[in-house]
Amino acid sequence: MLQLDQTVMKAGEQPAEWSAAMTYKFVGVLRSLTNDQPHQRTAIWLGVAIGFAFQLARKLVKANAAYKRFAASGRAGFATDFVVDAILLPSPYASSFGGFVNLHTSLWFGGGGILSSFVNTVKKRKPVPGEKEMPEDMSTTSLVGGGLIAGDSLAALGLGIVGLATTVLS
């Protein structure tokens, strides 16, 4: 798969079920080593600047005490916070994700994120006095999602090792 340059392939030519953003990065790096294109450097710096501006804006908005109070005040604040996070000021990683990963995979990731957010919102635990609040990435849904990803990766690795061993020992 890494020999296929998916950056120049049409949608119908794309390999089925191959959704690795790293493939695009590797192809881009390999191509730029042999074919220097100044407009690529400009695009990269523009992307870095846009990502930095979005993240700076996110940090400023999210650190504002009045915004925090409004976001925690009820349904309107919650909905506004969601729109700010998901549409107006998405994280640089989230906003670039759709540009590198196909729509089918992006929808699964998005659906998982929405489901996780919904479950964490509905099942929000009341803080216990004196108990330190867990970071968002340590929530039950985040850990289950990470476990599913790790399990899938380990299963693929196991199948790869079995396939290699079968080929070598035959």
- Give the pLDDT confidence of 149-160 residue by residue, as tens digits: 888 889 989 998
Coil, strand, or helix at residue 50? helix
Using CA atoms, how far residue 99 sits from 21, 65, 147, 153, in Å, is 9, 33, 26, 23
The model scores a pTM over 0.75? no
**Cβ-contact 103, 110 below 8 angstroms:** no
Per-residue pLDDT of the chain (170 residues; tens, 9 = 90+): 556 666 677 777 776 666 565 566 666 666 666 777 788 778 878 888 988 998 999 999 999 999 999 999 999 999 999 899 888 888 777 776 666 676 777 777 778 878 887 887 787 767 777 777 777 777 788 888 888 888 888 998 999 899 999 999 98
Backbone dihedral angles phi then psi of residue 130, each to the nearest 5 degrees? 85, -10
Whole-angstrom Cα distance, residue 38 to residue 108? 35
**Token pair listed for 39:** 């407009």
Domain ranges of the chain: 1-8+20-108, 117-124+137-170
